[in-house]
Amino acid sequence: MPSVPPTAHRVLPDVLLLLIAIMWGGSYLAAQDLAAASSAAAVMCIRFLPSAAILLCINFARPAVRLRDSTLPGILLGILRTATIALETIGVTLTSATNAGLIIAVSILFTPILESLHAKRRLSASLVASVLLALLGIALLVGGNGFSGINPGDGLMLAAAATRALLGVAEARFTVGRKTDVLGLTTVEIAFGAVIFTVWGSNSLMEHLPGFSVANWLTVVYLCLGRTIFAFLGQLWATKHTSASRAGMLLGTEPGWALFAGVLLAGDKIGTLGYVGALVLLVATWWGARAEQSWREGAPAINKDRARATARAGGN
């Protein structure tokens, strides 16, 4: 049977991943406003707790609940997801937004490296070059106003980039080529995060909740339904139909979208270098998607050649 999926099946995951990257990038301003009205811990708590409750209700309404099969992988993904969000949340309070946006983008370099180690395949020169070009684009885009001195927050953001890359590879490991219950897996993952962040931020949330404005509550709805439920479900589904490297490349555009949101909504200035970086990033993303597709589709031929070589060696 044909091994190459229809064009639509290749395009839709890319579109969805870009949409998620845009949504994630645009959520920083909303999250900052909500954190200003409460605290970072409270934001994580009110984002994950309602999301987990909604997904649990949806799962229990299904004819056949299969959360048992998703428990172990969901917890493993939940650990990586929770660690990433916690590191990002704390790290961004200890460094500049420019540093944070640039350093977290390093995850797009970590992801293909980790995936190649897992698959025991060397990355193609084109894929490596496209990733490096994307990093250059993000550096120009996010660092247009200058990269400030190294501080402890930078180390936390670098750790977040590593856990985000591990998360992408783990998601591919649990979904690609498998009959994965994406809804069940996402539910367990978010429920795990809800437990951790409730313990961490419930006291702060209860203290600030009475003072929330209508705008704050609209932000909560956006963070729960869009930034968490839709984004996490979409990321798992898209990764299942592509690969960790491709997903990492597309999601790695998040800092650029965050900066665009700042320019459009907060009046931030990125200058000429910023716009050059945006163009470089778009070119790198297009090139990287094509290079990754070629690298991934070349795996069956490589494995077949290896099998033939092994057979010849055995015959001798």
What digits encode the pLDDT tens for the residues 145-175? Answer: 555 556 787 788 889 989 988 998 888 888 7
Does the pLDDT at position 308 exceed 50? no
Residue 101 domain boundaries: 11-315
Reduced to 3 states, what is the DSSP secondary structure of residue 270?
A: coil
Distances (CA, A) of 305 to 117, 292, 313: 19, 20, 12
Give the pTM: 0.74
Check residue 75 and give its pLDDT.
94
Residue with tokens 């990433």: 84
φ, ψ for residue 234, nearest 5 deg: -65, -40
Q: What is the mean predicted confidence (pLDDT) over 131-155?
A: 72
80: nearest Cα among 226, 189, 236, 237: 189
Are 257 and 22 contacting, i.e. CB atoms less than 8 angstroms apart? yes
- The pLDDT-based confidence of 190 (bands split at 50, 70, 90) is very high
- The pLDDT-based confidence of 210 (bands split at 50, 70, 90) is very high
Answer yes or no: is 5 within a domain.
Answer: no
Check residue 266 and give its pLDDT.
65
Q: What angle do CA 202, 231, 25 make, to 5 degrees?
A: 85
Answer yes or no: is 266 within a domain.
Answer: yes
- Centre a 10 Å sphere on the Cβ of residue 218 and count the other Cβ atoms it contains: 12
Answer yes or no: is 58 within a domain.
Answer: yes
Check residue 220 and give its pLDDT.
93
Check residue 205 and give its pLDDT.
93
- The pLDDT-based confidence of 203 (bands split at 50, 70, 90) is very high
- CA Rg, the chain, in Å? 20
pLDDT digit string (tens) for 77-94?
999 999 998 888 788 777
- The pLDDT-based confidence of 299 (bands split at 50, 70, 90) is low
Answer yes or no: is 254 within a domain.
Answer: yes
> What is the sign of the dihedral through the CA atoms of 136, 139, 141 and 144?
negative
Distances (CA, A) of 270 to 50, 104, 142, 233, 256: 36, 19, 8, 32, 11
Q: Per the structure block, which two tokens stand in for 151?
A: 């501080």
DSSP state of 62: S
**To which H or E segment does residue 192 belong?**
helix 182-208
Check residue 99 and give its pLDDT.
66
Q: Give the range with max mean pLDDT: 101-110, 129-138, 227-236.
A: 227-236
**To which H or E segment does residue 209 belong?**
none
Instruction: Domain count for the chain, please give it.
Output: 1
Q: Give the range with max mean pLDDT: 12-21, 112-121, 149-158, 278-287.
A: 12-21
What angle, rounded to 10 degrees, do the helices at 107-119 and 125-142 form?
Answer: 160
8: nearest Cα among 241, 186, 228, 254: 241
Are 204 and 90 contacting, i.e. CB atoms less than 8 angstroms apart? no
pLDDT digit string (tens) for 31-65?
778 888 888 899 899 999 999 999 999 888 887 76
